[in-house]
Structure 1
Amino acid sequence: MANFAQKQFTSKAGNDYTFQFPGVRQVTKITDRIKNKFGGASDEKLSEEMLSHVVVEPKQKMDDFKGPSGYKELGEVVGAAYAFITGNDEKDESEEDSKDAE
């Protein structure tokens, strides 16, 4: 994957987002910063990191997501952004490609 690659993402609510890969060093720093004292990921820290460093369009903060549907969308966007920077979304794309070939 090239440095600073971008990916378009559309949420189930129909909102469009642009993710940008911040570089391997930055991803490593992000994965360190999101951990709590027990080594698990903190939802709040993960959300803040994804919105600050990965979601480049539209620029949003956690407080921009309103109500239960906003919380659901935040989780969807943050999860997709994290999968993108950690390379875990590539499997889904290759599976879709193989289904298209059938």
Structure 2
Amino acid sequence: MTFTPKTKEFKSTAGNEYTFQNVQNSKQAEILDVGTGLQGKILNSKMMPQLLKHVVVVPNNLTMDDFDTWAELEEVTNAAFSFLRTGK
């Protein structure tokens, strides 16, 4: 089967717009491996950059420090993580 990425438009509570794109299963596994600690706990400092790099495609090249507040960073990366896992 040929992989065809799905996208989703997301608007944060602050009114900023983002586009998410899913990745192939092998990349998703890699993202989860990088962003998860030994006991299976999500490591924000590792997972958030992975999501911003591979899932949030518009605007591209975002970093954690590009966000004005932790709340928006968390809102966007949580939504991106949910999209990564469910495609919704």
Normalising by structure 1, what TM-score?
0.77
Output the CA distance in 2 between the equivalents of 1:82 and 1:31.
Answer: 10
Instruction: Judging by fraction of residues, say which structure has more helix.
Output: 1
Output the CA distance in 2 between the equivalents of 1:79 and 1:62.
Answer: 13
* Structure 2 gap ranges (5+): none
* Structure 1 gap ranges (5+): 91-102
Please give the per-residue CA displacement for 1:5-35, whole angstroms capped at 9, x wherever unaligned: 1100000111000001111111111111111
Of 54, 60, 63, 1:61 maps to: 63
1:41 aligns with 2:46: no
Of the structure 1 ranges 25-34 and 75-84, higher mean CA displacement relative to structure 2 is found in 25-34
The structure whose RCO (Cα within 8 Å, separation 6+) is larger is: 2
How many percent identity over aligned positions?
A: 36
Name 1:12's counterpart in structure 2.
13
The number of aligned residues is 85
Q: Hey, which bits of structure 1, 4+ residues long, moved more than 3 A?
A: none
Normalising by structure 2, what TM-score?
0.88
